[in-house]
Amino acid sequence: MKFVLAMLLAFGLLLVSCKTNRPVPPEGSEHIRMWTPNPLPLLHDDGVAYYKVKDDLFDRKHMTRISIALIVQSGITKPNIEALLGKYFRDAAARKGFYWRPRADHIDVSAFVSPEHMASDMGQWLAMEFKTPADSVPQWQFDDVQFAQIGVAPVDRFGLTDAQRRVVFRKLIEDAHSQPPLMPIPEADSLLQAHHLSRADLDSVSAEGLAKHWAFPTMQVNG
């Protein structure tokens, strides 16, 4: 169990590192939400069915940033996602007339496979196109692990469905995050009893979630 805990903490630090390398608004920045339909319409474009869930502008002296997020539902292939994100990126790059500068100097467009991956706020995107003033051309990042799981039928393990194991994984991560390193996880005993799992089973679920990049719970990052 200690080995799995160490893996969880190490993976969490890696995700935080990925997150902090992304462009973020400066402290005290003005936030203008540009697009807030409710309910969200299901859109179809470039072979992908998706929801556009965020189109935000941060326009301040130190940065003019456009941040767009999509949650993709079907038609998920790398060429389709590249085309879709590229379309939104070009649209964002063409916008002009901001207060502090003529065009945005930070742009990021992300695709997520689920609301939970986006809500974790840990950089768990499927793909991202972004550009900062340090980039001469737009940059791309892909999560090949998540792409490899697209279209793969979920399986039951330890008497639990794929969805149930994801819930167990999220509870373990959430509880581990609140504990000092290598301390026992209080949630573990209740999970063992509720789902009739052995500790080896629980370790296996933890390892599976890490290996498959399952969604983390939303957590406050200290520091």
Instruction: Concatenate the DSSP letters of all residues of 34-95 into one string.
Output: ----SSPPEEEETTEEEEEEEEEEEEETTEEEEEEEEEEEE---HHHHHHHHHHHHHHHHH-
Measured CA to CA, the distance from residue 8 to residue 3 in angstroms comes to: 9
Query: Cβ neighbours of residue 177 under 8 Å, at least 6 residues apart?
Result: 12, 217, 219
Q: What percent of the chain is predicted at pLDDT more than 70?
A: 74
Residue 10: the pLDDT is 52
Residue-wise pLDDT for 2-24, tens only, equals: 545 555 555 554 444 444 444 44
Measured CA to CA, the distance from residue 209 to residue 94 in angstroms comes to: 39
Look up the CATH number of domain 29-149.
Answer: 3.10.310
> In the predicted model, what is the mean pLDDT of residues 202-220?
90
Residue-wise pLDDT for 14-50, tens only, equals: 444 444 444 444 444 566 766 667 788 999 999 999 9
Residue 16: the pLDDT is 45
Identify residue 64 by its one-letter amino acid code. Answer: T
Predicted TM-score of the model (pTM): 0.80
Domain limits of the chain? 29-149, 155-211
Give which of 3, 69, 71, 67 is closest to 29, Cα–Cα: 67
Instruction: Concatenate the DSSP letters of all residues of 141-209 into one string.
Output: EE-HHHHHHTTPPP--BTTB-HHHHHHHHHHHHHHHHTS-TT---HHHHHHHHHHT--HHHHHHHHHHH
Residue-wise pLDDT for 146-173, tens only, equals: 999 999 999 999 889 999 999 889 988 8
Residue 132 pLDDT exceeds 50: yes
